[in-house]
Amino acid sequence: MPSEQELQISPIVQESLVHNSRTLYNLQSLTASLFGVSAGILGLESYSGFVFYVALSLVTAVLFYALRVAPTSLASGKPPLDTSRYFRGAYDFWAGGLMNGFAGFVLTWTLFYGLVTA
């Protein structure tokens, strides 16, 4: 985390940061719902369903990093897997999807599981 004085010298535009995290949030909740649909259709139950969700969320995060963040972030001299060029917290980027999308995942998973196995 940069110190206060560094922040004053090279400020961060709050609006862009908010926009970035909102985009990320939208992606996460949309993909989580879609994962729920696929888990339901595949008929996954209990642990395998959750493992499916965690794994696919991580894959989404990695894909997002590789396709959208990495090209400019690496070019500007940041180390690999560092998202600080666009996002404030690394935790939010990598694991935030698990939290944000969980409710949507459970909903669609239950719905499609119920529809398929009825």
Partner 1 sequence: MAQVPVQSIHRDPQLFYWILFPITIVMILTGVLRHYATVLMASAPKKQDQKATREQRSLLHGINVRGNHHVLSKPSFTARRDALITAYESGAYLKNPDSRGQPPPNPMSDPNAMEGMMGMMKNQMAMVIPNTLIMSWINAFFSGYVIMKLPFPLTIKFKSMLQAGVATRDMDPRWMSSISWYFLCIFGLQPVFNFLLGSDNAASQMAQQMNQMGPQGGAQMFGPGVDPNKQFLAEAENLAVIEHHSVLDGVEQRLLAGIKV
Partner 2 sequence: MAPPILHSPVQLSPAAALALSQQAPAFLRSSSSTVSSSPLSTLLSGPEKSEQWLQYENLIVSCLRTGDDQAAHQCLRRLVARFGDDNERVQALRGLVKEAEAQGNGALEEVLKEYNQILDENDTNIPIAKRRIALLRSMGRLSDAASALVQLLDFSPTDAEAWSELSDIYLSQGLYPQAIYAIEEVLVLAPNAWNIHARLGELQYMAATAPGVANGLYQKYMAEAVKRFARSVELCDDYLRGYYGLKLVSKRLLNDGAKATRQTDDSEFALPGTSTLERLNELATARLSEIVRHSAASDRGWRGYSEAEVAAARALLADDASAIER
Residue numbers of the site for partner 1 (CB under 8 A)?
5, 8-9, 22, 25-26, 29-30, 32-33, 39-40, 44-47, 49-50, 101, 103-111, 113-115, 117-118
Burial 23-62 (b: 16+ CB within 10 A, else e): ebeebbbebbbbbbeebbeeebeeeebeebbeebbeebbe
**Helices H / strands E in the chain, number of each:** 5, 0
- The stretch among 5-13, 51-59, 65-73, 89-97 that binds partner 2 (CB under 8 A) is 5-13
How far apart are CB 118 and partner 1 at their closest, in Å? 6
Among 3, 8, 46, 117, binds partner 2 (CB under 8 A): 8
